[in-house]
């Protein structure tokens, strides 16, 4: 099992969700995050003087999948989120030792989906 | 000179200012996405600044100044408020200082282009917005205001009835908004997803402040603290109550739940519809005008807009255009001399002629405002470019046009 974390542009979330549905990946956790990459974000100006923040708004997706779904999930996120411009984001793939479904007490691969 | 009248008109001027900021600003601000809320507040604020100056420098003179002879435009005699002072102007308001009448009308000139913000929200360049606003105020609002309200104006001479601006303010801005929506095009991503309002409590707050301020707009248009003002106050609030309730009931029946956004939209539509009629109709007919406007505007927004798929983002045409046209026609149906002797009898009181005049008023305004808006858009687009670049639209106008953001994610 893998735990896939993707950081994407906020306005691409619908495209990514659509692409994930096409490969039958329907479960995910989504959150608003701030971050920056090599371009170091952008600068904000308050009343002409104070500069604050250099972080961009991004959306973070977290998806737990069984091994068969790892490649399709990565492909779907890439397809949905890519614009070809700076700031398209990243996908991190982590090993996932175990999963529990709270309601039934199931664990492992059967509890994931 | 009457101190009570003066006090009421000055108070009303402040009430109409409140309609633009914070009323309309928050009504619209809540409806856009988080990344664009400041751009909407900023546009309302800057219109207040810019059009106030435009008005005292030359707008007031073009609109209300002594007619140049053909009923088309006011002369330049009152440029920079020359010949406008503390003494009453008997043509417009005999019991209050000329200054009071001028500044009351200034607030109307301010809110009218501000209403249009809703159609191009979330995708206009700030510079283009500024240029468009000043040109539109000068070449659409000022002439139209002169035709309908100015002494010697040709529509006024034909007997057109517009108590507080159903034509000059709402129909003109609503029709212009429709033309702009078609010209500027849809927001990026509109086809794929529904853009949910980012803060509906703001929208309800703003709508409530509009209702409050509208008493200045409508009852203040009596230009006296008298029985006519009291009647306009009553017709305004009953039409609004009827329209807000009707919209909620329509939604309940159609979609299974009455929404806060629907009720507040209905209330604003009711305010719009009663605006031209408020000083000419009795309160029971005002209720009827309010009920009908919610049906008309609901169909315009929920059915017609989605059928033709234009992106009048915050429904300026659907509420102000449709509501303003209905109110203007309804004035031609329900006006009674028994209510206001200075008015006329509408169709239902034996005055078919008045209804025809109101119809013509609508046609003239639709054609004039529509054509001029098209022309001004083309001009500004050629000189500056109206729409922001794609990447800037995606990042949002707050950050790309104003270098600030409304909300932080982390403190």
Backbone angles phi and psi of A51, in degrees to 5: -100, 125
> What pLDDT is recorded for position B395?
84
Q: How high does pLDDT run on average in chain B?
A: 96
Closest in B35, B394, B399 to A44, CB measured: B399
> What pLDDT is recorded for position A53?
57
Distance from CA of B403 to the nearest CA of A (A): 5
CB contact under 8 A, B399 and A9: no
Question: Does B119 score more than 60 pLDDT?
Answer: yes
B36, B389, B405: best to mutate for the A interface, most A CBs within 10 A: B405
> What pLDDT is recorded for position B190?
85
Q: Which residue of B has its CA nearest to A32?
A: B409
- Tell me the per-residue pLDDT of B245-299, one tens digit each, with 9 for 90 and over: 999 999 999 999 999 999 999 999 999 999 999 999 999 999 999 999 999 999 9
SS3 of residue A82 by DSSP: coil
Q: Mean pLDDT throughout B111-115?
A: 98
Please report, for chain B, how many H helices and E strands are present, in that order: 19, 0
Closest CA to B129 of B117, B119, B143: B117
Q: How confident is the model at residue A40 (pLDDT cuts 50, 70, 90)?
A: low
Least confident span in A45-49, B61-65, B216-220:
A45-49
Q: What whole-number percentage of chain A has pLDDT above 70? A: 86
**In chain A, how long is the greatest CA-to-CA distance?**
57
Q: Mean pLDDT throughout B298-320?
A: 94
- Tell me the per-residue pLDDT of B147-190, one tens digit each, with 9 for 90 and over: 999 999 999 999 999 999 999 999 999 999 999 999 999 999 88
Q: How confident is the model at residue B379 (pLDDT cuts 50, 70, 90)?
A: very high
A40: containing domain: 2-112
Q: Mean pLDDT throughout B219-243?
A: 97
Q: Mean pLDDT throughout A37-51?
A: 59
Specify the CATH number for the domain of residue A20.
3.30.70.120
> What pLDDT is recorded for position A85?
81
CB contact under 8 A, A9 and B189: no
B393, B407, B409: best to mutate for the A interface, most A CBs within 10 A: B409
Closest in B394, B403, B410 to A34, CB measured: B410
Q: How confident is the model at residue A46 (pLDDT cuts 50, 70, 90)?
A: low
Q: Mean pLDDT throughout A82-88?
A: 87
Question: Does A54 score more than 80 pLDDT?
Answer: no
- Tell me the per-residue pLDDT of B178-194, one tens digit each, with 9 for 90 and over: 999 999 999 998 877 78
HSE of B12 in the Cβ direction (CA atoms, 13 Å)? 32
Q: What whole-number percentage of chain B has pLDDT above 70? A: 99
Question: Does A47 score more than 70 pLDDT?
Answer: no
> What pLDDT is recorded for position B411?
63
Q: Mean pLDDT throughout A63-89?
A: 93
First-to-last C-alpha distance (Å) of chain B:
56
Question: Does A37 score more than 60 pLDDT?
Answer: yes
Interface pTM, i.e. ipTM: 0.70
CB contact under 8 A, B391 and A85: yes
- Is residue B278 a contact partner of residue B236, using CB atoms and an 8 Å limit? yes
Domain ranges of chain B: 3-402
Residue with tokens 């029985």: B227
> What pLDDT is recorded for position B145?
97
Q: Mean pLDDT throughout A19-26?
A: 95
- Is residue B137 a contact partner of residue B276, using CB atoms and an 8 Å limit? no
CB contact under 8 A, B192 and A15: yes
Domain count, chain A: 1
A46 touching B, CB under 8 A?
Answer: yes
For the domain made up of B3-402, the CATH class stated in words is mainly alpha
The Cα B44–Cα B22 span in angstroms is: 8
Q: Mean pLDDT throughout B205-231?
A: 97
Q: Identify the residue with better confidence: B368 or B405.
A: B368
Least confident span in A79-88, B154-163, B338-347, B380-389:
A79-88
pTM attached to this predicted model: 0.91
> What pLDDT is recorded for position A8?
95
- The 3-class SS string of B5-66 reads HHHHHHHHHHHHHHHHHHHHHHHHHCCCCHHHHHHHHHHHHHHHHHHHHHHHHHHHHHHHCC
Distance from CA of A2 to the nearest CA of B (A): 28
Closest CA to B198 of B39, B389, B307: B39
Closest CA to B98 of B81, B80, B86: B86
Residue B171, token pair as written in the block = 């129909």
């Amino acid at each position: 099992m893998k735990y896939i974390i993707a950081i994407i542009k906020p306005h691409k979330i619908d495209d990514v969700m659509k692409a994930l549905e096409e490969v039958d990946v329907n479960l995910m956790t989504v959150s608003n995050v701030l971050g920056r990459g090599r371009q170091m974000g952008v600068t904000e100006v308050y009343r002409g003087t104070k500069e604050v923040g250099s972080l961009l708004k991004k959306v973070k997706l977290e998806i737990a999948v069984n091994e068969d779904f790892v490649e399709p999930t990565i492909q779907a996120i890439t397809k949905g989120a890519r614009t070809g411009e700076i700031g398209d984001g990243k996908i991190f793939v982590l090993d996932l030792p175990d999963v529990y479904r709270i309601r039934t007490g199931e664990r492992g691969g059967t509890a994931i989906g | 000179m009457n101190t009570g009248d003066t006090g009421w008109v000055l108070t009303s001027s402040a009430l109409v200012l409140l309609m633009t900021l914070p009323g309309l600003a928050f009504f619209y601000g809540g409806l856009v996405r988080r990344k664009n809320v400041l751009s909407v507040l900023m546009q309302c604020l800057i219109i207040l600044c810019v059009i106030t100056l435009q008005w005292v420098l030359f707008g007031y003179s073009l609109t209300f100044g002594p007619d140049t002879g053909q009923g088309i435009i006011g002369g330049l005699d009152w440029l920079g408020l020359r010949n406008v002072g503390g003494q009453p102007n008997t043509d417009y308001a005999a019991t209050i200082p000329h200054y009071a009448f001028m500044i009351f009308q200034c607030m109307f000139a301010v809110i009218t282009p501000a209403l249009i913000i809703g159609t191009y929200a979330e995708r206009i360049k700030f510079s283009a917005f500024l240029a468009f606003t000043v040109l539109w105020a000068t070449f659409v609002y000022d002439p139209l205001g002169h035709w309908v309200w100015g002494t010697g104006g040709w529509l006024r001479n034909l007997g057109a009835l517009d108590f507080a601006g159903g034509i000059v303010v709402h129909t003109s801005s609503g029709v212009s908004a429709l033309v702009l929506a078609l010209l500027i095009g849809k927001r990026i991503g509109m086809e794929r997803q529904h853009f949910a309002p980012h803060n509906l409590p703001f929208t309800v707050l703003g709508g409530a402040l509009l209702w409050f301020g509208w008493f200045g707009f409508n009852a203040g248009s009596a230009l006296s603290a008298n029985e006519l003002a009291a009647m306009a106050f009553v017709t305004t609030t009953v039409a609004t109550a009827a329209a807000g309730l009707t919209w909620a009931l329509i939604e309940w029946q159609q979609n299974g739940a009455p929404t806060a956004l629907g009720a507040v939209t209905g209330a604003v539509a009711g305010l719009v519809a009663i605006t031209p009629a408020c000083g000419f109709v009795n309160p029971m007919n005002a209720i009827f005008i309010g009920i009908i406007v919610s049906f008309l505007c609901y169909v315009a927004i929920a059915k017609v807009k989605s059928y033709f798929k234009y992106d009048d983002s915050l429904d300026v045409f659907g509420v102000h255009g449709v509501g303003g046209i209905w109110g203007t026609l309804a004035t031609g149906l329900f006006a009674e001399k028994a209510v206001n002797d200075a008015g006329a009898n509408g169709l239902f009181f034996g005055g078919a002629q008045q209804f025809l005049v109101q119809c013509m008023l609508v046609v003239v305004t639709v054609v004039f405002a529509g054509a001029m808006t098209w022309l001004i858009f083309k001009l500004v687009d050629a000189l500056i470019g109206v729409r922001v670049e794609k990447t800037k639209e995606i990042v949002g106008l707050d950050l790309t046009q104003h270098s600030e953001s409304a909300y932080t994610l982390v403190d």
